[in-house]
Structure 1
Amino acid sequence: MRVLFVTFAWKTHFYPMVPLAWALQAAGHEVRVASEPELLDTVTEAGLTAVSVGPEETLEQRIRRTQEEGDLPKGPIVPPFSTDSLYEIGDGYREGLPWEDITWLFDNVVVPRTRLLNDGMVDDLVAFSRSWQPDLVLCDVVTNAGAVAADVVGAAHGRLLFWLDLSLRMRRDFLRAKEQQPLAARPDALRDWYAGWAQKYGSDFSEELVTGQFAINVLPEPYRLEPHAHTLSMRYVPYNGRSVVPPWLYEPPRAPRVLMTFGISARQLAELQVMSVEQVQGILDALADLDIELVLTLPEEARQQLDSVPDNTRIADFVPFNVVAPTCSAVIHHGGAGNFNGTLLHGVPQLLVDSAVDAPAKRIVLEKTRAGLSVSPDEATGPRVREMLEQLLGDGAFRAGAQRLQREALDQPTPGALVQELERLVAGDRESRPRP
């Protein structure tokens, strides 16, 4: 079968797709990865065949232009209400956000983001899909253009989840609240976005465009935020791009090794930086007399701004996460999908400096399993980080909790084992509905 992966031009959204793409390719299926020109070298470096869709404009250029045109705020978008309800995990009933709050989120966050990330890709993606005729389209959870293209050519369509599914939860909250409103007061801007593209290509809107026919989820089932009715489980398999094992990792650590890393996203956009250089320096100073081996990943330009580096600290521009994590006693990170899932997979206690959009839910996962702790970026002072790190290293319950979570993660089917399930799913889809 022909399988098309679709993602916007962001490395950390593409990297988790690679093991499944290679599993399908190794099983004899044809695989293509469609993204904007900015990501093509990253795709081909992974040994996959890329398809260029959308303009040459980079994501950063598009964000800056949209901000200058007044269609996107220049600062962070902060809702004027509590969003705690969005992050609840468990089987209990949740009320959901009220109509005024959920429509605010869709009008100010969800739909503007959808337009920003997808509008430039749709036409090229549909043109390629009509030419290549994929049987299955697998989309990054915020790359909605893939759903439109799948619908146009009648391909099966699934959403790839490497983090908690806030998008589906918000959509369900929206539809629940919408039913309680008078007919004349039910605007649905996300539906309008999908319907506009569907009508352009001779189709009609269906809610399946938003949700996909199924989802592939790497989180163990008890910790999924809002599972799709048809969810396939898959083990998270790390992929870091070009990786080389540094010589200092040949030997075991002389003291408990702690990795502090804030991912690669902040290197692409300054707005995504979790902590200032001054905060990092404060943490280094506070940990300087601890009997640990601290490994800090930091770009060279940021390293040059540090006043001093303690003797127990090693700074590296980049270290393959899946290589260093198994040697660690704790990991301090910002909550990105690669860091969170990678730490979970290796059974290492983690300190989450919770800046990622779904970080509140990840904090709940760590609390439920006692696999780690979390702190907000504003509270991540040197003394506070030291206090929490000493808890992680000194209390064996955190290691035990992390290892329990690891076992649940390892119980998930590997990408290779998932291939046959996807083959059956696509075969059933072909039988159930004719293709255009």
Structure 2
Amino acid sequence: MKVLFVAGGSGGVIFAITPLAQTLRNLGHEVFMAAPSNVMSTVAGGGIAPVPVTDKTMLDFMFSDRNGVAVQRPTDVHDRTIFNGRGMGRFAAASFAGLKPFTEHWKPDLVVGGALSFAAPLIAAHLGVPFVNHAIDMGEPRQIDLAATAELAPELESLGLRSMPEPDLFVDICPPSLRRADAPPAQLMRYIPANTQTPVEPWMHTAGERPRVLVTAGSRVTKEFDIDILRGLVDKVGGLDVELLIAVPPSAAEELGTLPDNVRMGWLPLDVVARTCSLLVHHTGGNTMLTGMANGVPQVLIPYLPYVVDYATRLTDYGAATMITPGDDTPENLARACEELLADPTYRTRAASVAAEMRGLPTPFAVAERLEKLVAER
């Protein structure tokens, strides 16, 4: 069986779909993963053959229209969601164009697309093969899908479609207790943390005497993008009497300057270090959040992007996290929240409950068997 995975343009959206791709490959299937050229090393780092479909980055599509005219990011929350959807639609249009010549020669039997990778349903419809939609976090706003569909009107018309093709199967990695009430029917799957690895050092898998707190703003941080968010988080948490881990790409680490002796900084394998942490403090990135959940770690969530507020609220309501809105993330409020979660065992108990529920879900192997059956029946 030939399986084409279609990913987005950042580590988080690639890591979420990599375990299923690895499983299918290990079962003997031929598996490729399509993504922008700038993340080929990230895809290859997961052991999957990478296929470049566009030389532009995902952010290039977010901040310029199809004619190359700059697009300003709006400040209104609703408009920001539409902005994101339109940008992802432009990214999908370019990816779809890049996938056509590739699939003329390598004809997949199945297309698996990460949520927001809207080129996946397009190329599946073009080829007439089954399409599987794979969640990349705890759920995206419906408005993003609608805005992307509007942006992709020319591509849909070329396929004789009036709306985005529905998936033959939806694979969800959100545990049942935290799914939205209106979530669609799904094949549930256990979330397996994945990330780019680095040589393991003893401290990574052995916690010290003080509580270990990990701070991150995600894998996309650069000198030009989101470094201010990470710097702010570090400054606000840095005064706590803890062992502080700062997860940041090496290229951006120097921007944080000299740090105290109780701080370790750099590209950290989150799947390795998370299980030794007492607390995660972050931007509510989907994979960071799910990795913390899978390891039973309480979390302080600051949802800097409007569309992540929904699932930050769900985990907070469950009792495994606390959420601080970006406007309220003062040093005092953030330190107070960290101290509360470190001191109150209820948060760790609830986080452990989530982790146990996730461990009980079907494995990627079980889901791979269902995909084999889907193709065989088709």
TM, length-normalised to structure 2:
0.89
After TM superposition, list the pairs within 5 Å mapping 1:207-222 onto structure 2: 207=163, 209=165, 211-222=166-177
Using the TM superposition, give the Cα deviation of residue 141 of structure 1 relative to its aligned residue in structure 2, in angstroms.
1.4
Tell me the SS of whatever aligns to 1:166.
coil
CA 1:360–1:407 in 2, change beyond 3 Å: closer, same or farther?
A: same
Using the TM superposition, give the Cα deviation of residue 166 of structure 1 relative to its aligned residue in structure 2, in angstroms.
2.6
**Is contact 2:156–2:163 with CA below 8 Å preserved after alignment?**
no
Residue 25 of structure 1 pairs with residue 29 of structure 2: no
RMSD: 2.8
Identity of aligned residues (%): 25
Residue 386 of structure 1 pairs with residue 335 of structure 2: yes
Using the TM superposition, give the Cα deviation of residue 276 of structure 1 relative to its aligned residue in structure 2, in angstroms.
6.0
CA 1:40–1:310 in 2, change beyond 3 Å: closer, same or farther?
A: closer
- Higher alpha-carbon Rg: 1
Tell me the SS of whatever aligns to 1:270.
coil
After TM superposition, list the pairs within 5 Å mapping 1:88-127 onto structure 2: 108-109=82-83, 111-127=85-101
Residue 196 of structure 1 pairs with residue 154 of structure 2: yes
CA 1:408–1:41 in 2, change beyond 3 Å: closer, same or farther?
A: same
In the other structure, the counterpart of 2:235 is: 281
Counterpart CA distance in 2 for 1:427 and 1:149 is 20
**Is contact 2:5–2:112 with CA below 8 Å preserved after alignment?**
yes
Counterpart CA distance in 1 for 2:251 and 2:150 is 44
In the other structure, the counterpart of 1:159 is: 133
Gaps in structure 2 of 5+ consecutive residues = none
CA 1:297–1:124 in 2, change beyond 3 Å: closer, same or farther?
A: closer
In the other structure, the counterpart of 1:248 is: 203
Using the TM superposition, give the Cα deviation of residue 399 of structure 1 relative to its aligned residue in structure 2, in angstroms.
0.9
Gaps in structure 1 of 5+ consecutive residues = 84-103, 175-188, 431-436
Counterpart CA distance in 2 for 1:299 and 1:47 is 20
Counterpart CA distance in 1 for 2:253 and 2:10 is 24
Using the TM superposition, give the Cα deviation of residue 396 of structure 1 relative to its aligned residue in structure 2, in angstroms.
1.1
Using the TM superposition, give the Cα deviation of residue 138 of structure 1 relative to its aligned residue in structure 2, in angstroms.
0.8
**Is contact 2:219–2:248 with CA below 8 Å preserved after alignment?**
no
> What is the one-letter code of the residue matched to 1:249?
M
In the other structure, the counterpart of 1:434 is: none
Tell which deviates more after alignment, 249-258 or 343-352. Answer: 249-258
Using the TM superposition, give the Cα deviation of residue 116 of structure 1 relative to its aligned residue in structure 2, in angstroms.
2.8
> What is the one-letter code of the residue matched to 1:221?
P
**Is contact 1:235–1:411 with CA below 8 Å preserved after alignment?**
yes
After TM superposition, list the pairs within 5 Å mapping 1:33-182 onto structure 2: 33-54=33-54, 56-63=55-62, 66=65, 69-73=68-72, 75-79=73-77, 108-109=82-83, 111-168=85-142
**Is contact 1:235–1:412 with CA below 8 Å preserved after alignment?**
yes
**Is contact 1:220–1:408 with CA below 8 Å preserved after alignment?**
yes
Counterpart CA distance in 2 for 1:223 and 1:274 is 31
Tell me the SS of whatever aligns to 1:265.
coil
In the other structure, the counterpart of 1:410 is: 359
In the other structure, the counterpart of 1:15 is: 15
After TM superposition, list the pairs within 5 Å mapping 1:365-384 onto structure 2: 365-384=314-333
Q: Write out the 4+ residue segments of structure 1 that deviate beyond 6 Å after TM superposition.
A: none
Residue 295 of structure 1 pairs with residue 250 of structure 2: no
Tell me the SS of whatever aligns to 2:97.
helix
> What is the one-letter code of the residue matched to 1:216?
V
**Is contact 1:165–1:227 with CA below 8 Å preserved after alignment?**
no
Counterpart CA distance in 1 for 2:250 and 2:96 is 38
Using the TM superposition, give the Cα deviation of residue 170 of structure 1 relative to its aligned residue in structure 2, in angstroms.
6.1
Q: 1:272 aligns with which of 209, 217, 226?
A: 226
Output one character per residue of 1:75-129: Cα deviation in whole Å (capped at 9) or x when no partner: 44424xxx6xxxxxxxxxxxxxxxxxxxx678x4255213431222222212222
**Is contact 1:194–1:205 with CA below 8 Å preserved after alignment?**
no
Counterpart CA distance in 2 for 1:306 and 1:123 is 40
Output one character per residue of 1:241-268: Cα deviation in whole Å (capped at 9) or x when no partner: 132212323543122211122221222x
Residue 238 of structure 1 pairs with residue 193 of structure 2: yes
Counterpart CA distance in 2 for 1:427 and 1:415 is 18
CA 1:170–1:120 in 2, change beyond 3 Å: closer, same or farther?
A: closer
After TM superposition, list the pairs within 5 Å mapping 1:288-367 onto structure 2: 290=241, 292-298=242-248, 309-311=259-261, 313-367=262-316
CA 1:219–1:43 in 2, change beyond 3 Å: closer, same or farther?
A: same
**Is contact 2:172–2:188 with CA below 8 Å preserved after alignment?**
yes
Counterpart CA distance in 1 for 2:307 and 2:64 is 27
Tell me the SS of whatever aligns to 2:316.
helix
Counterpart CA distance in 2 for 1:69 and 1:255 is 51
TM, length-normalised to structure 1:
0.78
Counterpart CA distance in 2 for 1:192 and 1:349 is 39
**Is contact 2:90–2:151 with CA below 8 Å preserved after alignment?**
no
**Is contact 1:213–1:230 with CA below 8 Å preserved after alignment?**
no
Tell me the SS of whatever aligns to 2:25.
helix
Output one character per residue of 1:197-242: Cα deviation in whole Å (capped at 9) or x when no partner: 2443xx3215452x42321110012322366644111111111113
**Is contact 1:214–1:228 with CA below 8 Å preserved after alignment?**
no
Counterpart CA distance in 2 for 1:380 and 1:105 is 21
**Is contact 1:166–1:226 with CA below 8 Å preserved after alignment?**
no
CA 1:306–1:138 in 2, change beyond 3 Å: closer, same or farther?
A: closer
